[in-house]
Structure 1
Amino acid sequence: MSKSAGGTVGPAGPPVASRPESIRNVLVVGAAGAGKTTLVERLLVRAGVLNRAGSTEDGTTVCDFDEIEHRQQRSVALALAPLVHDGVKVNLLDAPGCVDFIGEVRAGLRAADCALFVIAANEGVDEQTVALWRECADVAMPRAVAVTKLDRPRADFDDVVAQAQDAFGDRVLPVYLHDGRRLVGLITGDHGHAEQRAALIEGIIEESEDETLMERYLAGKEIDTALLVRDLELAVARGSLHPVVPVDSTSGVGATELLDLMVSAFPSPLEHPIPTVYTPAGGPGPKIECEPSGPLVAEVVKTTTDPYVGRVSLVRVFSGTVRPDATVHVSGHRSAWATGVDPASSHEDHDEVERIGTLSVPLGKTQRPAPAVTAGDICAIGRLRHAETSDTLASVDAPLVLQPWRMPEPQLPLAIRVRSKIDEDKLAPGLQRLAAEDPTLRVEHNPETHQIVLWTMGEAHADVVLDRLANRYGVPVEEVELRVPLRETFARPATGHGRHVKQSGGHGQYAVCTIEVEPLPEGSGFEFVDRVVGGAVPRQFIPSVEKGVRSQMSRGVETGYPMVDIRVTLTDGKAHSVDSSDMAFQTAGGLALCDAATRGGVCLLEPVDEVSVLICDNLVGTVMGDLSARRGKVLGSETADEPGMVVVRAHVPQIELSRYSTELRSLTHGSASFTRTFAHYERVP
């Protein structure tokens, strides 16, 4: 299977594609340890981009995509690896397998037109792979499968295909089989595997627009290979058939066949829908097509900082052509589509006009200059000072905004502080740059606990953030205990007396007030009632008492946490015709509240979140039991939109959720996810 479309590569230059039909953008995904990076390197070797398979015997990558990957021995970032095969440019986007970096996967899904799932023949289909498959299905991404590690003990290609069909449906069909030494093609007419070949041919023909093909096939007539390849590409593009290719990354068997499949059967940018376009003001934008001569519409799918060249933006061009030194409009309007936490806390909306610096095609950390990059292709742009991940690049004359992809919500909080005071001035700029690079990182400056909290996707993500902060921006920090903002309230009704009398020459200060305080139901807030009779407290000073009570409530009376959910009734007081004042009665009101607290007692309230956990139906009991052990109140469960999935809802104290992201992942083998929103405060037991 092959299809030439006009891409070229020079001995020292980057692959160049002149038309969208000569491009394939492929996201390589799979569970950690499946062999994704090793497979990418083998394909680069087969295409002549690398001289050797840049990995060691244990699979550790030698192709340097990120400096942290050497220290942590795992992929942590999306990496672009372009090659040319049969005249077609193939942009391989190598995504991390760890679920902490699902944001990198979603960025890759935005840049790609097809996903290649890598499944190890000796490991099979695990929960991480199933979760990634759902991610692709959610955005209707066409999918194919490469089965690797065929030379490992317990490797079983047929068993892996059966597992994939059981997990993903019977449209996961091998295009090649592995006989232990070589690949056997099922489309090219090999009749030694009639059952597998029949399943593949029938799956392809069912998607054909030629209604006579099925009749001819059932009549026993041979179908031309070119027609089958054409309809295979149509079936893959529609997401109705998922071809499987076995590849031995060590020997290279299957690498050429996989490249052939990418070129002939994977959809081009012309066949993948362009995201919805808007104006910066939020109105509908024009219809955009993947055309090099069209208006410029491109998107930053990843942002990195290089110590030598500064900020580098990995950009997918959806329409038009990008050229060096051109002036572009940069739009970032993520808050318009935000749900839950407002991302403007870390990513403010912005519109800027900037000049493109260097234009290049990256391979790992190597940047090769490019004369121009057309619609459908992916490139790197240097020195865009204001561009952040998910920002849109467009013409200055007609600025447009692409609706950003759905960002995963970080759920693991990490409280930090600098190790040395001399680094305090560098912390804010470092965090700002990290947030611009990584949309899954949220930086919170908590005004109540006075802590800097980094909301991350998990422990691995947190490790990478701290590593980058220390080694890239020179700001070493340490983790501190996360504090939860509590509240105070009255344990029972009480009466308080406030007396503020001072005389030191001239006008003195005189104010006396008596109040009754009673606790209210949770969430009621604050009520102030005036029951003064006989003018004991002059009318002009009654608001002063309320103001003083409110001020004391904001400071707390015992623990320093704000006080909530009480009713304060002003019943009596005394005033002086000369020495009474607004400030004196404010002070007396605060003293009266503190006096009442010593009589009625104070109890603490803790914040409670409503948690929604998406899990497989066979894990409902396990998750409910764990939530109950966290002092949670299970509200119920309901069937999710995805088959076999259930949503469990519960109210859980925030303090019990500080490590829930990591612990839920361990409990469910990485197959579950959750969201949380503040619900209310309730008494600490």
Structure 2
Amino acid sequence: MPGPQEGGAGGRCIAIVGPYLSGKTSLLEAILERCGAIPRAGRVGDRNMVGDASQEAREHGMSVEANVATVEFLGDRYTFIDCPGSVEFLNEARAVLPAVDAAIVVAEADEKKAPALQLILKELEDLGVPRLVFLNKIDKADAALREVLEWLQPASAAPLVLRQLPIWEKGIVTGFVDLALQRAFVYREHAPSEVIEFSDETSELTSEARFTMLERLADYDDELMEQLLGDVEPPRDQVFDGLATDFREGLIVPLFLGAAERANGVLRLLKALRHEAPGIRETRARLGSAETGGAAAQVVKTFHTSHGGKLSVVRVLEGEIADGAIVRTEDGRDERVSGVFDLQGQEPRKRGPAMAGETVGLGRLESVRTGDTLGVGCVPLQLLSLAPPQPVLWRSLSVADRKDEVKLTAALAKLVDEDPSLVLNHDQASGELQLGGQGEMHVRVALERLARKFGLTVEVQLPRPGYRETIRKAVKHRARHKKQTGGHGQFADVVVEIAPLARGAGFTFGERITGGAVPKQYIPSVEAGIRDHLSCGPLGFPVVDLSATLLDGSYHPVDSSDMAFRAAGRLAAAEALAEAAPVLLEPVMAVEVVVPSDCTSRVTAMVAQRRGQILGFDARPGWPGWDVVRARIPEAEMRDLIVELRSASAGVGSYTACFDHLAELSGKLAEQVIETRRAQAAA
């Protein structure tokens, strides 16, 4: 077996990814235990794991953020980053994955989770990250391995190459055969596996499985192909070199077996990483990071700790970063490092300088964001462009005490800094502070964190849809504002024509004054007064798509003023709009839903139930077995769409939406909306 792959003095960084509840955090615990970093592996049910360290993760029994842990294995340093598996927290991995050397994809022998596995593998494929699959819970598998491979292979663009063959006794997996080493092992719980002799049956199955593995390698190696055609057994070192090269280049996805809760298969997995995974040099080349002669690092995660302030988790790509170093972002922002830390879960431990390959925390880089590239002694190239995903669920937030509003905004800004897939929006029309996220659990966890870290409990409501109103007929109206208060009074008289415009035209103002009936200096005040009233029309909503024309009027040389004509304009608009057959408009969204193809019919039914219109559907480009459904759906019908969509698609469906047009809403639905609005205004 060849020696370890050169990875750089600072060690490797490996992501642990996989579908929800596949056992990623249990695998991290088993790795930490096997490497001596912890005395005993924790369990999800016991809430004592290094990975799921936050209170929110432990209460929900699931990973809700990336967790970092560093170990030593056979003299080499490894940092493992355990990433959440739920699609709602997938953005946590998007900043991590480009900077890692390789990824362990934890999977199960469960056909229903194949679409979720495909989501993760596609992300890795697009980034060019070498990946291997750890088929977890093999001790509980009740399907033949051949059948499991048939389920899993469509999720991967590269061929899955079986590296191990399970040994079964009385329907239970008791060990495995390493197809590259040609050795059989029996599992020992929380201990290294032991070598055993081949049985006759195992020997025959091994020969067949090994030949299949070599055939896959021969697709990329002409010499090996000639050896197989000539029935020549290739040297073991040649086989390992082929496995390592093809894995690092992403040509194959090796598949290993194990049971993380029992620590079965963990040692063999670690040895494969040690000998076959690439290191920082290859990762730097994949990222396109040119050598600068200084130091460079990639920010993969941001924490706001209770006592130590902001902590930026970085992968050092080149050079050395020490406490007190001045780091510069790609857009020229400078910050001084206040402490360099190793991380074990969320526990920072101060340490000395970090060198190329290491993954560490850098203290108090206040303006630095997740995804930034940092340089010391140079301005680094931008390596990542992390556009946050569009929110699929919104909630309106408010505090009981108005003095807490500033505190709320500051706290939410820190949450968004930690998790860029959260989005804050101040809706100007409704005055609501809205928080958008990637699903119901994502937003719930954010609010729980808000209460725990910042002591802020908020009232949560569904956001108000962006209803508008317009008019159906033209109206000419005279309005007079007259007020006598002693001394100078107030006087303005205007004749205004209000008329409907085409949908989407907005508001226009004009004047056809003759003979100086209204002096020119007062005409802008009339327009301002009309605009004032358009913010809340007779139905209670902003008014759109109409024109206002000032036709006539009169003034007083002493009592007329800008203020008086503004009041007259406002009065004219209020009285004219009420006579102009106002009608309610609701926003309609253009929606693209992406789901596995077997869910498409359920999506079309959902759209119909929500007063939507199907525009068509096609195969999703680059995603075998997935469809894109295009539709138009009223905004009011979309507020819990993601919940139903995820339920119908094993948790993997999603959508993007943008405003398309305003459509008239009438009948009982319109009456209900108007009645609700009036009740809110009266409260």
TM-score, normalised by the number of residues in structure 1 = 0.87
**SS state at 1:163 partner:** helix
Partner of 2:4: 4
Deviates more, 1:461-470 or 1:575-584: 575-584
Matches within 5 A, 1:667-682: 667-682=648-663
- Aligned-partner Cα distance in 1 for 2:486–2:139: 96
2:179 maps to 1:186: yes
**In the alignment, is the contact (CA less than 8 A) between 2:115 and 2:596 conserved in 1?**
no
Q: Which amino acid aligns with 1:526?
A: F
Q: Per-residue CA shift, 1:7-59, capped at 9, x if unaligned? A: xxxxxxxxxxxx62773322111111111111121122222222222226x58
Q: Give how far 1:111 is off.
A: 2.8
Distance 1:274 1:518, change over 3 A: farther
Partner of 2:96: 108
**SS state at 1:311 partner:** strand
**In the alignment, is the contact (CA less than 8 A) between 1:21 and 1:268 conserved in 2?**
no
- Aligned-partner Cα distance in 1 for 2:147–2:627: 28
User: Which blocks of at least 5 consecutive residues in structure 1 are unaligned?
Assistant: 7-18, 278-286, 334-350
2:562 maps to 1:563: no
Matches within 5 A, 1:120-519: 120-121=108-109, 125-152=113-140, 154=142, 156-168=144-156, 171-179=159-167, 180-189=173-182, 192=204, 193-208=206-221, 211-272=222-283, 274=285, 288-289=290-291, 294-330=293-329, 351-398=332-379, 400-421=381-402, 423-519=404-500
Q: Which amino acid aligns with 1:571?
A: L
Of 80, 105, 108, the residue aligned with 1:92 is 80
Q: Give how far 1:471 is off.
A: 0.8
Of 43, 48, 52, the residue aligned with 2:31 is 43
Aligned length in residues = 639
Of 564, 568, 582, the residue aligned with 1:602 is 582
Of 69, 90, 115, the residue aligned with 2:57 is 69
Q: Give how far 1:507 is off.
A: 4.0
Q: Which amino acid aligns with 2:108?
A: A
**In the alignment, is the contact (CA less than 8 A) between 2:9 and 2:356 conserved in 1?**
no
- Aligned-partner Cα distance in 1 for 2:86–2:315: 24
The sequence identity of aligned pairs, in percent, is: 33
**In the alignment, is the contact (CA less than 8 A) between 1:22 and 1:268 conserved in 2?**
no
- Aligned-partner Cα distance in 1 for 2:443–2:489: 58
- Aligned-partner Cα distance in 1 for 2:386–2:286: 9
Of 616, 620, 623, the residue aligned with 1:636 is 616
Q: Per-residue CA shift, 1:376-404, capped at 9, x if unaligned? A: 32111223233222222212454544333
- Aligned-partner Cα distance in 2 for 1:574–1:313: 66
- Aligned-partner Cα distance in 2 for 1:671–1:77: 18
- Aligned-partner Cα distance in 1 for 2:389–2:248: 26
Please give the root-mean-square deviation of Cα atoms over the aligned residues, in Å.
2.6
Partner of 2:639: 658
**In the alignment, is the contact (CA less than 8 A) between 1:2 and 1:86 conserved in 2?**
no
Q: Per-residue CA shift, 1:97-146, capped at 9, x if unaligned? A: 11110111212212312221111236764332222222222222222111
Deviates more, 1:317-326 or 1:508-517: 508-517
Partner of 1:80: 68
Of 564, 567, 570, the residue aligned with 1:584 is 564
Q: Give how far 1:194 is off.
A: 2.6
Q: Per-residue CA shift, 1:642-680, capped at 9, x if unaligned? A: 233332222222222222222221122223221122223
**In the alignment, is the contact (CA less than 8 A) between 1:304 and 1:312 conserved in 2?**
yes
2:604 maps to 1:624: yes
Q: Per-residue CA shift, 1:459-488, capped at 9, x if unaligned? A: 111121111111111212221232233222
TM-score, normalised by the number of residues in structure 2 = 0.87
Q: Which amino acid aligns with 1:187?
A: A
Distance 1:366 1:102, change over 3 A: same
Q: Which amino acid aligns with 2:139?
A: D
Q: Per-residue CA shift, 1:468-517, capped at 9, x if unaligned? A: 11111121222123223322211322222211233445444333222222
**In the alignment, is the contact (CA less than 8 A) between 1:4 and 1:22 conserved in 2?**
no
Q: Give how far 1:455 is off.
A: 0.9
Distance 1:206 1:153, change over 3 A: closer
Q: Per-residue CA shift, 1:270-296, capped at 9, x if unaligned? A: 22355767xxxxxxxxx614xxx8322
- Aligned-partner Cα distance in 2 for 1:121–1:630: 36
**In the alignment, is the contact (CA less than 8 A) between 2:115 and 2:155 conserved in 1?**
no
- Aligned-partner Cα distance in 1 for 2:364–2:63: 25
- Aligned-partner Cα distance in 2 for 1:59–1:132: 28
Q: Give how far 1:82 is off.
A: 2.1
**In the alignment, is the contact (CA less than 8 A) between 2:10 and 2:358 conserved in 1?**
no
Q: Per-residue CA shift, 1:170-217, capped at 9, x if unaligned? A: 711210111022220112246532332112112123224xx3232123
**In the alignment, is the contact (CA less than 8 A) between 2:15 and 2:97 conserved in 1?**
yes
Q: Per-residue CA shift, 1:296-317, capped at 9, x if unaligned? A: 2212111112223222211111
Partner of 2:676: none
Q: Which amino acid aligns with 1:594?
A: A
**SS state at 1:664 partner:** helix
2:490 maps to 1:520: no
User: Which blocks of at least 5 consecutive residues in structure 2 are unaligned?
Assistant: 168-172, 184-202, 667-683
Partner of 1:26: 14
- Aligned-partner Cα distance in 2 for 1:84–1:124: 36
- Aligned-partner Cα distance in 2 for 1:423–1:576: 49
**In the alignment, is the contact (CA less than 8 A) between 1:4 and 1:87 conserved in 2?**
no
